[in-house]
Amino acid sequence: MTTVLLVDDQALLRMGLRMVIDAEPDLDVVGEASDGAVAVDQVAALAPDVVLMDIRMPGMDGIEATRLLAQDHPSTRVLVLTTFDVDEYAFAALRAGASGFLVKSARPEELVDAIRTVATGSSVVAPRVVRRMLDLFAAHLPSGAAAPPSGAVSPALRALTPRELDVLRCVAEGLSNAEIAERLVLSMTTVKTHVGNMLAKLGLRDRVQAVILAYECGLTGR
């Protein structure tokens, strides 16, 4: 059973989400919150597997709540709810530690599939979408460390082997494991191993964060 906490300042929306989620035999809504501060308290008390997090709420917004949850409750995954598929605030939530984002107009089956995917430790944001968000909002957000000189490797990435660095570049381009295997002439099992090692060495939760780090380190050729 995957447990879910709903966080949105609109009671009607929470009711609709609860109806959709509780209709699934493997999903269970264990609580609700109308703002970020209450959400943080609820996670501490209930330890849900997944939080469906609205962004724009009175008091503590979803971005700050996501940052606190990623810091203090890393086993709880945050799935951001956003009105638009490319939203500056949604991108900020990904930077804060969210595992992905879902548009509020998504179909019920997309919602429950996204919750299940996030609960397994994966991301529901396609890397290509993350890259589009990065390109769109890079000029308005902190850029992180300056890009290294051509041919050099950022200090943040020096723990990686050359092959793991190649895999990170491919992930940053939005390639799937199958596409990475084809490009680098590797087996799928080897690619999965390299991706796992790369994430572990860099202390990243998922591929979304890998794309963001690659972008900030100048690995994507922005």
Provide the domain limits for residue 53: 2-124
Shared-domain flag, residues 81 and 155: no
Q: What is the pLDDT of residue 210?
A: 86
Shared-domain flag, residues 6 and 107: yes
Determine if the pTM surpasses 0.85.
no
**Rounded Cα gap, residues 201 and 68, in angstroms:** 23
Over residues 61-113, the pLDDT tens digits come to: 999 999 999 999 999 999 998 876 666 777 788 888 888 888 888 889 989 99
Q: Distance from CA of residue 192 to its chain's centroid? A: 19
Q: How many domains does the chain have?
A: 2
Predicted confidence (pLDDT) per residue in 168-177, tens digit: 999 888 787 8
Work out the average pLDDT over 129-149.
55
pLDDT of residue 95: 81
Q: DSSP letter string over 85-117?
A: SS-HHHHHHHHHT--EEEETT--HHHHHHHHHH
- pLDDT attached to residue 205: 79
Instruction: Clarify whether residues 120 and 193 are in a common domain.
Output: no
Domain boundary among 124, 149, 173: 124
Same domain, 66 and 174: no
Secondary structure class of 125 (helix, strand, coil): coil
- In this structure, the answer to whether residues 104 and 162 fall within a common structural domain is no
The single residue listed with the structure tokens 């008091």 is 59
